[in-house]
Each structure stands twice: as C-alpha cells, then as structure tokens.
Amino acid sequence: MSKLKIAVQKSGRLHDDSMKILKDIGVFVDNGKDQLKTSAANFPLEIFYLRNGDIPQYLKDGIVDAAIIGENVLFEKADNITVIEKLGFSKCKVSIAIPKTKQYSSIKDLQGKRIATSYPNTVTKFLNKNNVSANLHIINGSVEIAPNIGLAHAIVDIVSSGNTLFKNNLKEVDVLLKSEAVLAVSPKIHNIQKSILSKLQFRIQSVLKSRQ
C-alpha cells in the first residue's frame, strides 16, 4: 500500500507539538522515536524523525513527501519549498540583537561589523537587500554568547520568549523574519501521496479550527 512519507523533527522545540497534532487528527503513532522511521497504525503514513536542518534537503530530493518544519529553517535552507498550511505553533522571530548598552538606528549601523549567526543565508539576504556588507561568523548554537566574549558586535538568532537575549544582556533591534511551524511539501511528491496529503491536511485544518 502506498504511504505518505512525512518528516518530523526528531528532538527539539517542534517535536512535541508536531506529534500532538498527529495525535489530535487521530493518527496513532507509537512513540518509538529511536526507530527513526515508524508507520502510523491507522493512516497510510510513514514518519521519519530527522534533524531539523536536514529536513529541507530531504524535501528537495523527494526522500520525504512532506514535513512539519519551522519556516525559519525553510527560509534559510530551501526558500522555494511550498508551504500548504501554517500550523500555529512554535512561533518565533529571527532577529538581530546587540548588547543592551549599544545604540542601533538601522541595519546600516552594522556596516563592516561582525555578526554571529546560525542563519547565514537569511542574514546575507537581508544585508544585500539593504546594501550593507558585514562579516558573518557562523556558529551552530549558543549564539547569544558571541557579543559578550568579543566575537561579534551583533547576532542574528531565533527569539521566542526573549529569555536568552535577556539573560545575555542583549536587546532585539530588528526582525528579519517571523516564523511558525508549517506543513511543507516536496516538489517531487507523486499523485498518490498528494491525495493522502490532502486528507491529512483536511484533518489538520479541522483540528486547527477547533483550537481557535
């Protein structure tokens, strides 16, 4: 029997809410995420538990037909992937932050400065759009530490509650992107999987309505 292959974040901020939405639409999945790939008991669905940053490539290549993923990751790694549904959870921003004591009036202030980020493509697009050139320092995590250890003048990273900025004496000064979890589709999806995806999307829409 044909199944729809869907990627879900293996661990991290999206995982629990992604599994919750599958549960709420009545799709039963055993919680064995050590398996990395599992099938739903009562819906033609195969779930792939993957690293966030790897999901865009799996979508591009058609290894998975669809994914529950953050818009921020898509924008950074595959900005031509189609989003068919916003899922209303894991809302965050991708923002510029600088030390609390420093001034900022516009992105022009970062001309020639060092910016630490895990989102180099997103930052580069924003800088180019504003005709600003800056030096990017790419790090994978704990980005907020960079200004305090003299590694960068500014950072670009995810802001959710704002706690991490606050604790590191930083302030948000510009928003590059607003993001939430979305249902995204591979450009290589076949028709059979497309029709399964429509059923899944229909159920998701009813759950989202009932959550309002």
Residue 141 within binding range of ligand PRP, rule CB under 6 A: yes
Q: Out of 106, 128, 142, 169, name the contact with ligand PRP by CB under 6 A.
A: 142
Residue 195 within binding range of ligand PRP, rule CB under 6 A: no
At residue 212, the 3 state secondary structure works out as: coil
Cβ neighbours of 90 (radius 10 Å): 24
Residue 206 within binding range of ligand PRP, rule CB under 6 A: no
Q: Out of 144, 147, 177, 197, name the contact with ligand PRP by CB under 6 A.
A: 144
> Nearest CA to 28 among 48, 43, 13, 49?
43
Give the nearest distance from C-beta 159 to ligand PRP in angstroms: 5
Give the nearest distance from C-beta 71 to ligand PRP in angstroms: 15
Cβ neighbours of 146 (radius 10 Å): 23
Site for ligand PRP in 153-172 (CB under 6 A): 157-164
Distance CA 66, CA 181 (A): 13
Contact criterion met (CB below 8 Å) for 9 and 55: yes
- The footprint of ligand PRP (CB under 6 A) covers 141-144, 157-164
